[in-house]
Every structure is written in structure tokens, then in C-alpha cells.
Amino acid sequence: MTAKFGKVALLGIGLIGSSMAHAIRRAGAAEHIAGYSHRAETLEVARGLGFADSLSTNPVECVKDADLVVLATPVGAFGELAEKIAPHLKKGAILSDVGSVKGAVIRDVGPFVPDGVHFIPAHPIAGTEQSGPSAGFAELFDGRWCILTPVPATSDAAVEKLKAFWQALGSQVEVMDARRHDLVLAITSHVPHLIAYNIVGTADDLETVTEGEVIKFSAGGFRDFTRIAASDPTMWRDVFLNNKEAVLEILGRFSEDLFHLQRAIRWSDGDTLFDLFTRTRAIRRSIIDAGQDTPAPNFGRGEKKDK
């Protein structure tokens, strides 16, 4: 199955959209890359970087004659965007996305997908805390996973073509049910981000410790929380509002486990603490063994993939 498309339209050219454009160029996976942003200043930056063949503030113009259309704005904007472009999608085209939630995308976009267009939601599990078109780089997806959650009755050939496309961009690909995806990502991504935002907010609100002290002595775990908490606020607001059931389910379990740890500390139960820390250390090693992070000192900071 060939991975090459005639025209790919990227509706959103922030970190993920611009990285896709660079990776498409590297792989030769499209003859024409079109980019959209509603901000003229964003297009000016993108124009200077040269990763797209055409750029527009009009999504309808961007998707005209496109063989693959990718929604890459914050997920809260997907429904309105889909409604605008739906009448102008090419018959036989694939409509996809890069959102971190999938059930809400199917709910909001699905009703607008015209007959003859293949709707295949997707989620490349890759990113940094940076945002905007200048943050993108071709290697972002290398060795990372991209999950496809096709809706029922989707053409197998269309799924295989999109799978080959993401593989050409460097990703490993898995097909998964949307509900399963949202639960898995709630524990692996969404709740960790919420915890990071919360702990950084707690430090900011703590009157007994000064802001200067928090910043000065942040070389420990707090520094790594702030890296996650620096992620795009609009994108993450939309993620939590659109995956609330799965997030709340995982938060409930997390709260119970945190209370258990609180009791262990209060009663000096070192065995419970040691057993948990040993088990979680093994998880970290498994992530490195799976090639999803680096064992390099300082978490590999300074490597290209973490820029």
C-alpha cells in the first residue's frame, strides 16, 4: 500500500501540524502540502519556514482537492471546522485528525462527514511542551506510536493507506477502539498533565514558600513537572473538557491510591512505600526498553527530539 497522497491539507500548523509537514517532506509522502491557520501572523511564520506549498486563512480553500485532510487545531474547534469544510471535501478523500481524545472527535465531527469520504480519527502520541509552527521538526514521530480509531464500516483500504502514511512519517501504528483509546490516554497522558498543572499551581499559591525559592531550587522533580505544565493551555483545556468521563474515572482511582500512600507515610509504613517505588521503577525501565524514552543523563535534554 503506497503512503503517498496528491494533496494533504493540514488544518492547524502548530507543533503537530508543522511537524507533520516536515515529516511529509522528508518522506515524500505528498505532492502538495497545504496549511491553514485563522491567524495571519501564524501563516507569516510558516511562510518563512517554508514547510508548506500553500497557506491560507480559509479552511475551505485549504481542503479543495485534498486527498487527505487532517484536523490539527485544538479539539474544541473540530466540530465547527468540520461543518465548514464538509461540503467541499473531495469524494474518496480521507478525513482524519491528531487530537488527544477520540470519542469526542467522533461525536463532533462524524455528523458532518459526507458520503464517499473516509473518516479515520488518529492520534500521534508525540509532542513537546513547545507550540506554534516554529516548534515543528520532522523527527517528532520517529519511533512513536500513532493510534487509528476508524469508525464502523470504514474502508479497509483507506485504513491501510493512512497506516502506511503514518509509518512513512516514522510512526508505529496501532488500530484501537475509540473508547479504549480515551481510557488508555487518560492514565498515560491526561491525568499526568493535570497533576503537573496542579502541583505547579499549588507551588505558585503556597504563601510560606517564595516564588524565588521555588524557581531557585527547582532542579529536582518540580522542574520536570513544570516542563509538562508548560504545554499549550488551549489544547489541554479542550482535552479535559472532551475526555471528562475517562479522566474522572482515573482521577478517582488515583485519589484512592494517594490516600493509601498518605496513610503509609503517616504510619511510617516503609515496606508499602518501598514496594511501590520498586514496582514503579520497573515501569520506567520498561518504557526505556520499549524505545519510548532515553536512559541518557538528565532525561536526554539537549537531544533533538526534546527540543
Residue 227 belongs to a domain with what CATH number?
1.10.3660.10
Averages of pLDDT over each 10 residues, the chain, 307 residues: 86 94 96 95 92 95 97 93 97 96 95 96 87 91 95 94 96 94 89 84 72 69 76 84 89 90 92 88 76 59 45
Residue 122 shares a structural domain with residue 213: no
State pLDDT tens for residues 75-98.
Answer: 999 999 999 999 999 999 999 999
CA atoms within 13 A of residue 96's CA, in its CB half-sphere: 30
Pair 9, 143 in one domain: yes
Give the tens place of pLDDT for each residue, 172-219.
999 999 999 999 989 888 888 888 888 888 777 775 666 677 777 766
Number of domains in the chain: 2
Mean pLDDT value across the chain = 88
Residues 151 and 269 both lie in one domain = no
Same domain, 196 and 172: no
Are residues 43 and 82 both part of a single domain? yes
Q: Are residues 158 and 22 in the same domain?
A: yes
Query: 137 and 17: one domain?
Result: yes
Same-domain pairing of 46 and 148? yes
Pair 255, 136 in one domain:
no
Domain stop point among 125, 158, 176: 176
Which of residues 152, 176, 200 is at a domain's end? Answer: 176
Q: What is the pLDDT of residue 302?
A: 52
Q: 157 and 228, same structural domain?
A: no
pTM: 0.82
pLDDT of residue 51: 93
* Contact residues for 240 (Cβ-Cβ < 8 A; gap 6+): 190, 194, 247
Q: Are residues 81 and 208 in the same domain?
A: no
CATH of the domain at 37: 3.40.50.720
* 107 and 231 inside one domain: no
Structural contact between residues 78 and 97, judged by C-beta atoms closer than 8 angstroms: yes
**Cell digits for 207?**
504563601
Among residues 144, 160, 176, which one ends one of the domains?
A: 176
What is the span of the domain harbouring residue 50? 5-176
Distance of CA 2 to the CA centre of its chain: 25
